[in-house]
Structure formats: C-alpha cells, structure tokens
Structure 1
Amino acid sequence: MLYIDGQWVQAVSGEELEVINPATKEVISKVARANGEDSKLAIESAERAFKPWKQKPAKERASYLKDAAAYLREHIDSLAETVTKEMGKPVNEAKGEINLAIDYIDWYAEEAKRVYGETIPASHKDKRLMVLKEPVGVTAAVTPWNFPVAMITRKVAPALAAGCPVVIKPASATPLSAIKVFEAFHEVGLPKGVANLVSGSASKVVGEMTRNPAVKKITFTGSTEVGKKLMRDSADTVKKVSMELGGHAPFIVFEDADIDKAVKGAVASKFRNAGQTCICTNRIYVHENIAEEFGKKLSGMVSQLKIGNGLEDGVAIGPLIDEGAYEKVDEHISDAKEKGAKVLCGGKKASVDNQNGWFYEPTVLQGATDEMVISTEETFGPVAPIYTFTTKEEVVERANHSEYGLAAYCYTKDLNQAYFMMEELEYGIVGINDPIPTTAQAPFGGLKESGIGREGGHHGIDEYLEEKFVSLNIG
C-alpha cells in the first residue's frame, strides 16, 4: 500500500512490487508499485499540508514525533522481524537499528523547540536587524535498503520537526519496513498530507520529485552515481539538496595500538550487516611490524562468525541483498587473489543448510595492494583486505587517495598521533579507537564525493530550514 494524504491507497496503475527475502529467495509480500502520477499526488498532498503544519507550535509538532517513537518502541519485535525478512540482517542488529531510528525521532522532537533566530547589532539607531529561520517547504526523501528504518527517521524526523511535510520513496527492496514506520504516523494521528509514502519505480517516482517545483528540498542516501544524477535533475528548479553518498573507509592500526581491541573493532565495523553499510571498513591498514599478528587474530575471530538466516539464534552474517551484490563480492575477491592477496579465511560463496539465499563467507585477505579493484571500488560485502604501512605520513596519503570521504577509523594509544590523524584524515566522520561512531546527537555526513550536508544532531534540522534576513526601520 501507498500512504498519501493520510490514507492507505493502491497505486493508480494497480501494479504491484514483489518483496523477496534474500535468505530464501522467496517472495514474502507484494506492495503497490507507484509511478510518477502517484508521486505527483503525494507531492500535492504535502503541498496542501505545508502551511497548516508549519504554523503549528513546535511543541505540538514534537508531540506527534514523541507519540510515533513510543508506538515504534512498543512494536520493535515485529518491526525487527520485518527488517530481517526483507533485507537479511540478523534480528538483533535489526533491533539495534530500530532503537537508533527511535533515537532520531526522540532527538528531533526536542530540536523542534530549539529553532532559534538571531538579532544582529544594527549600524544605525533607527534599524533593527533580525534573522528568522523558516521551514524550506515540501521535502522529498529517497532512502536505501541497508538501514530501511533508521534512514527514514533520520530524514523524516528533522523535516517534520522543522515544519516540512515529506514524501518518502523507500528502496524497492525494503518497502515493508517503511510501511511499518508509516503505520506509526497513521496511528498517532499525524495530520493528513504531512507524511506520504510512495514505493515503486525509482525513475518515475523520483523523476517527478526532481521535476516538480512544489518540492523545495531533496534528501538522498545512496550511491554517489545516483546522487550526482539527482543533483543534476534538481538543478532546473534550484532545490536545496542534502546527500549522504558512497564511502570507502580506511581502518588504520598503528604499532602501539591494542591489537585485540583493534581486531574487535574491525569485526564490528566491517562485518555488521554483512559489510553492507556505507561507513563500514573497506581498507585495513596495519603497521608492518604487527600485520601478521593482526591478520591471524582477525581471521580467527571472523572464521567463528555464524552465517545464516538472520531470524536464527546466534547468526552474525546474513545474506547479501541480491545476486548483483553477491557477484560483486566474488569478483572483488577473485581480482585480489589474482594480484597476490592471500585468503586467510572465507573467500567463497557460502552454503547454508535449508537456505537458498545469497550467502557469502566472511573473508579476510592478507597482502592487499593499492592496485586491486577492492582498493578503490566500494565492495559492500563481508570482505576485509589488509594492507601494510610504515609511517603515519604514508598511511594518511594512501587513506586519503579516494574520491570518497565519509568515514575513517584509527587505532592508537598515542594522543599526539590521534590528533594528527583526526586532523589529517579527509573524512566527515573519524572514529579514534571507536568502530561505531554513529549516534543521533552528532552530525553524520561526508566530504568530497561522499556527500553534501549533515544528518543528526542540531546540524541535521538546519538542512530543512531557510534563513530570512529582516531589516526593520523604526525611525
């Protein structure tokens, strides 16, 4: 079903979209497949809702968000099961994602009441200068499949808090999670038109979003290639955009680091969600003097990770999302092996009892080099290549070579070295001895071709606001 103007409706065309469980390859549901006409209806609904919604006191907007957060909290088990069935991550990971999603809603329920303007000292006694902050307007959000709940709330919560109605286009692979989130909005009585959901054809639904002048803001999480296209398509109507795009995160381990802690951190960063996260480790740079020990300990831990259907107890590695992702991982590993990498564990497609999904063994490669495809292309799978380095200057230069600049990690006990790395690494997020830095109260976003704008923290709500300067002559 689509959710437009406060109602659950079928697509205008009557077409449906199949939802496939990547662990079993079975069709688990069918949902409405929206096109450009559905997208237009949703935008028109949001446009009608804009003025009354932005005029509501911030405290009232916040109350809807708080109620939605409470509803999701009450239904976390069923929502987590839905996430696992349609995209594969282990159910405990899904619960962790949903808790983060709820944190975003809670945070922006409070931030709604903290949208402050300014009074500026005037240069003339008869003038008063002010800056007002106002909602940008109808917002269109395009979200990915790998975090199908948190990526929605990270966009919807600040938009609604700021006074902007939204139209959400979730990933076609994971519409069921989005529907569950919108059930919360519906049940708490969110005014009609304030939040709209259109799952379906990306080219038609999103094409209408970028063309339609009623849409004032586009927010997108996904690949850099698609982000660039959305920016180009939005240029004709000069929309405000925020983009969280691709990543290729370095994970740097210095000789003085706590190796056991670094190994655990690498596993937590790289193999969460089977390596299908935009900020997960892609290149592990280990000082040459400890590389062999690190590789043994990392492969030992990785080889113990249980592969299987995310609904089963103890599973740490679920399936990849589809056949394309599955084949890409295999191609990257084959290329690395041909160019001299040694497989310490994994390295092949996995066979899981009673399952027919896209499973791949979690893999550790020793002896990776910068010439390998895996060194420049985002793998988006459970593969950890280990490189060696000698000096901090060398490793910073190699870590920064990518056009990406989303997240980077560093392990060291040396405070001076830590400061050097946090200042020299060209990334929007830097974790020092911390493999999972994401939190609702801090900004999330990248440098270079990894994005524009920030989500999270007080910075996130600014993406949905415009500043209006007022000069008042009282003479």
Structure 2
Amino acid sequence: MTEMTLVPRRDAALPEMRVNRHWIGGQWMEGAHWTERHSPSHGHVVSRSAAGTEAEVETAVAVARAAFDDGRWSRQPAKARAAVLLRVADLIEAHAGLFAVIETLESGKPITQARGEVAGAADLWRYAAALARTGEGDSFNGLGPDILATILKEPIGVVSIITPWNFPFWILSQKLPFALAAGCTCVVKPSEMTPSTTVMLADLLAEAGLPSGVVNIVLGLGQPVGARMSAHPAVDMVTFTGSTAVGRTISRIAADNLKKVALELGGKNPQAIFADADLDSAADAVVFGVYFNVGQCCNSGSRILVQEEIAEAFVAKVVALSRHVTFGDPMDPETQVGAIVTPEHRDRIDAHVKAAQAAGARVVLGGGALDVPGLGAQFYRPTIVTGVTPDMAIARDEVFGPVLTVQTFRTLDEAIALCNDADYGLSAGVWSENVHTCLAFARGVQAGTVWTNTWMDGFPEVTFGGVKQSGQGREIGRYGLEEFTEIKSVVMRIGRTRANWVKTR
C-alpha cells in the first residue's frame, strides 16, 4: 500500500494579484511600505499589501475613538445595528466564492475548507445580529419600597482586533460582528500573511451601511502595528488570537493602562479513546482532527490517549485511514490537506518530529517534507508518532502541523491526569459508549471545550475559549458578546425618603 494519496497540481485559473490598502475612516489609504504574499501552494504573488506604521495606528484609533464618542454607532437602536450586520451576512454569501479562492491561495488551505469557513462566517454575523437585539441586564426590586436598582450592559468602547493567518476570515467573524453588536468601534489588524479577505470585507461593510470610522483596518506587522494597537491609551480592549508567546506580550503591553484583554491562544488538545468506544467513528474523527486545515489549527486534535488494550489496533486503524486522506493542490475540490503556510513553519514541524525520534519515539507514518507534482515541497507528510512519553517536547508543545502523537493509559483517572498534564487547556475529547465515563471525563478535564464522541463540532450559539495558557475570555455565543461590554449599576431612590445625614438644629 502506498504511504499516502496525492493530488497533483490542477489546471485552474488564478486571480490577478490583489493590492491591499489601509481602510481608515471609510477611506482607502496608501502605504509608504509594502509587503508581498506568495502563495504557499502555487508560488505566485497573491497580494501586495501596505505595511503600516505607528502613524496609521494613531490615525485609525483617533477615528474609532471619535466614532464611538459621538454615538454614530453605539447609540443607534439595536434594531438598526442588527439590520447592518444582517446585510453584511448576505453580502458575504454573495461574494463567498472569491473570498474562498483568495483565502486558499494566501493560506494554503483546501478550497472546500475555505468555502466552509466563509459560509460559517456569514452565520456568525447573523447570530451576532440576533444578539444585538436580545441584550439584557438585571433589575433588583427587592431592596426596599424606596429603592430600585438596575444593571446595564454598555459597549466597552474602542476595540483593537488582531487576527491570525490560519483562519483569517472565520476568526475575524468570531470577534468583529460581536463587538459591533455590542455597539463598539474597532481597529482591525489581520495577519500580514493572509490580509486580503479582511480588506475585502471593508467594501461589504460600507455597502451594508456601516457608518464610516466604526471599523478601521490597518495592515502590517505585529511590531509596530499590533504593538501600538495593544498599548494605545485610547483603546479600551484588545482581542487577539495567535500564539501563547505573543499573547503574553500583548498582556504585558496592555497592562500599562489596564485595558481589557481577551486572548485565544495555543492548544495541545487530547482525545481519550476508551476500549468501549465506537472505534471506527473515533478513528475517523481523529484523522479529521489532526489533518483539518493542514493541522494548523488551535483546536487540532494533535494528541490521542488510547486505552492500552486497544492501542495497537486503534493506531493501525488511524494509520490506514491516514493513507486515504488526500494531500496536494488546495485548489482541487478533492484535496483535504493543503500546503504549510511558510517554509520556515514546515521546517519547525519537521524539527519537532526529528526531536521526538531522537528522544525515543517512533514515526509509524510519514515524517518529512512532501513534494507535490507541479507545486513544490511546501507540504508535509501525514505523520503519526507512537511511543511518546509525557516528558517529550512533542507531547507538550504545539506543533501546528499534520502530526499526531499517541500515548496510552489504563484507567479513567490516568487519562484525565495525562490530559491535564499540559500547559494548555483549549479543548479535549472523550470517546466511550459509557455516559458515566464521558461525564466524569468532561467534569475532570481542564479545557474550555470538551467534545464527547465527536470532535470540533462548533456552533455560533456555543461559546469558545480556553483555560491555562490557552487564553482568557470567551468568543461567540452570548458570552462572546458580553466580552465587549462593561457593567454599570444604577441605583435609584423613589421619592424624598432618604434621611438627612447632617442634622441641623
């Protein structure tokens, strides 16, 4: 049997190079410096983008601050804000084909996954629109006959949104529409590697009727653009998705003026497979979980814990399924795994695998760069590593590639302990036909999301976020909206019932 299934380069027409500019105050702005993004799969220049400086950030923040303070968006009725968000969702769907192609070429992900990402993003905008009209606070009517108190939820203000390269449009849509639904104004910085779909959204926002200055886009590198967006005293909140190392830096920078920070960071996400599980379903989900989005996913199911008595058979099942996963041209609808985002990242993935081998682990499938006919070697083989022990770096560090590690356990308590023996706590999964096992695992594991007998099912209604080094704060769902609000207590006395504190003679 061959080691894997390859899809060579197909003869597909590619769009012309995009030119991306800053979008500030409803106007396009040129840059003094520019960067180019070469497609990791096809090698050509997909986009040429302005590279911002602190000056563009200063302008964008000032515009967003003015837009918030004058109430052009924050004081609009929720019905009006929701109507704009719904129009944006419709426009995203109308332009989904082009958005998906550009995202595929900039990121290297398969076109079918890019299409799913854009369609799912439209649903996030619609759900955020619904939340805009259902925001509520609390009231306290039992404080005495002369007192009534209410709790108001108000927009936090100006929000800096910094997004990563792996799901550029989806993750933007986990943040931006919820901030807008709350009434905030925003400055957005996409990754310099995948900026185009964020810039393309600007035209849709304007067409949908979003007032100018409410959303501003500054392109460029984390230093200086992201750093200044995090430190600026006129910014009330920073929301960031990316690496744990950068998240720590943002927290330190933002601490100088005590602004709110929401972070969605790395993951080393375990799935525990028990002997009584539906092993065919579990194996298919494991394969999906580790190869989806080329394994470049914070929710990647990158480590599995298998009960000892089934470990050998289950790994063989996963290896066999992995050979049928299609790797290759991301523009081909048959492809399931595309290109690694950069050559440097591909080399980092390979270094993790080689270090594991040197530490005594065994590579039972794959390992090494992959040369796809007509596209080159910016791909990585489907890789499964067994004999992994908890002290190995590959068991603890986020590899962020199509690499699966295997550990074994004997009991439920041991499985939970292995899951929790990690710096991260983004997501975890359990496979068992015993509901008691699933519930005990879900309650005992340290993770923001726990999947039982499934992996990576997500819905706009279900809040997402991590614990420990995987971040702080929550996205999507009702809690995702509330991240962008401040709480205000209003206490009202009814009538002239307050006794005078000062006694006059």
Coarse TM-score class (shorter-chain normalised): over 0.9
Return 256-265 or 308-317, whichever deviates more: 308-317
**Secondary structure of the corresponding residue to residue 372 of structure 2:** coil
How far did 1:122 drift?
4.4
**Secondary structure of the corresponding residue to residue 73 of structure 2:** helix
Instruction: Specify the code of the residue in structure 1 equivalent to 2:471.
Output: G
Match in the other structure for 1:89 = 109
Match in the other structure for 1:193 = 213
**Secondary structure of the corresponding residue to residue 130 of structure 1:** strand
Match in the other structure for 2:248 = 228
**Alignment check: 8 A CA contact 1:118 1:130 kept:** yes
**Secondary structure of the corresponding residue to residue 19 of structure 1:** strand
- Select 2:85's aligned residue among 65, 81, 98: 65
**Alignment check: 8 A CA contact 1:79 1:177 kept:** yes
Match in the other structure for 2:350 = 330
**Alignment check: 8 A CA contact 1:25 1:357 kept:** no
**TM-score (norm: length of structure 2):** 0.92
- Separation in structure 1 between the aligned mates of residue 491 and residue 194 of structure 2, nearest angstrom: 48
- 1:155 aligned onto 2:171: no
Match in the other structure for 1:25 = 43
- Separation in structure 2 between the aligned mates of residue 52 and residue 270 of structure 1, nearest angstrom: 45
- Separation in structure 2 between the aligned mates of residue 70 and residue 466 of structure 1, nearest angstrom: 30
How far did 1:48 drift?
1.4
How far did 1:26 drift?
2.9
**Secondary structure of the corresponding residue to residue 16 of structure 1:** strand
Structure 2 portions without partners, runs of 5+ = 1-20, 496-505
Instruction: Specify the code of the residue in structure 1 equivalent to 2:278.
Output: D
- Separation in structure 2 between the aligned mates of residue 308 and residue 74 of structure 1, nearest angstrom: 28
Match in the other structure for 1:463 = 483
How far did 1:389 drift?
1.0
- Separation in structure 1 between the aligned mates of residue 308 and residue 171 of structure 2, nearest angstrom: 38
The structure 1 segments of at least 4 consecutive aligned residues displaced by more than 4 Å after TM superposition are none
CA offsets per residue over residues 355-398 of structure 1, 9 Å max, x none? Answer: 12510011112222223211111000001111111111111111
How far did 1:403 drift?
1.2
Match in the other structure for 2:445 = 425
**Secondary structure of the corresponding residue to residue 134 of structure 1:** strand
Instruction: Specify the code of the residue in structure 1 equivalent to 2:415.
Output: V
Pairing of 1:392-411 with structure 2 (within 5 A): 392-411=412-431
Pairing of 1:256-405 with structure 2 (within 5 A): 256-405=276-425
Match in the other structure for 1:177 = 197
**TM-score (norm: length of structure 1):** 0.98
- Separation in structure 1 between the aligned mates of residue 73 and residue 26 of structure 2, nearest angstrom: 14
- Separation in structure 2 between the aligned mates of residue 260 and residue 457 of structure 1, nearest angstrom: 32
Larger Rg: 2
Instruction: Specify the code of the residue in structure 2 equivalent to 1:272.
Output: F
Instruction: Specify the code of the residue in structure 1 equivalent to 2:174.
Output: R
CA offsets per residue over residues 192-211 of structure 1, 9 Å max, x none? Answer: 00111111021111222222
- Separation in structure 1 between the aligned mates of residue 121 and residue 354 of structure 2, nearest angstrom: 37
- Separation in structure 2 between the aligned mates of residue 210 and residue 29 of structure 1, nearest angstrom: 26
**Secondary structure of the corresponding residue to residue 304 of structure 1:** coil
Structure 1 portions without partners, runs of 5+ = none
Instruction: Specify the code of the residue in structure 2 equivalent to 1:37.
Output: A
- Separation in structure 1 between the aligned mates of residue 493 and residue 392 of structure 2, nearest angstrom: 65
- Select 1:434's aligned residue among 454, 479, 487: 454
**Secondary structure of the corresponding residue to residue 262 of structure 1:** helix
Instruction: Specify the code of the residue in structure 1 equivalent to 2:365.
Output: C
Match in the other structure for 1:208 = 228
CA offsets per residue over residues 141-191 of structure 1, 9 Å max, x none? Answer: 000110010111111001000000111010110011211222211222311
- Separation in structure 1 between the aligned mates of residue 182 and residue 27 of structure 2, nearest angstrom: 23
- Separation in structure 1 between the aligned mates of residue 142 and residue 26 of structure 2, nearest angstrom: 46
Match in the other structure for 1:40 = 58
Query: Taking every aligned residue pair, what percent have the same amino acid on both sides?
Result: 35
CA offsets per residue over residues 5-29 of structure 1, 9 Å max, x none? Answer: 0112212xx2111112111333222
Instruction: Specify the code of the residue in structure 2 equivalent to 1:69.
Output: A
**Alignment check: 8 A CA contact 1:275 1:383 kept:** yes
Match in the other structure for 1:243 = 263
**Secondary structure of the corresponding residue to residue 55 of structure 1:** coil
- Separation in structure 1 between the aligned mates of residue 182 and residue 263 of structure 2, nearest angstrom: 18
- 1:138 aligned onto 2:138: no
Instruction: Specify the code of the residue in structure 2 equivalent to 1:228.
Output: R
CA offsets per residue over residues 112-152 of structure 1, 9 Å max, x none? Answer: 01111211134332221111111000110000110010111
How far did 1:309 drift?
2.1
Aligned residues between the structures: 473
- Separation in structure 2 between the aligned mates of residue 266 and residue 119 of structure 1, nearest angstrom: 47
- Separation in structure 2 between the aligned mates of residue 236 and residue 388 of structure 1, nearest angstrom: 45
CA offsets per residue over residues 326-359 of structure 1, 9 Å max, x none? Answer: 0111111112222332222211211100112510
How far did 1:91 drift?
0.4
**Secondary structure of the corresponding residue to residue 199 of structure 1:** coil
**Alignment check: 8 A CA contact 2:465 2:475 kept:** yes
Instruction: Specify the code of the residue in structure 2 equivalent to 1:33.
Output: A
- Separation in structure 2 between the aligned mates of residue 122 and residue 240 of structure 1, nearest angstrom: 32
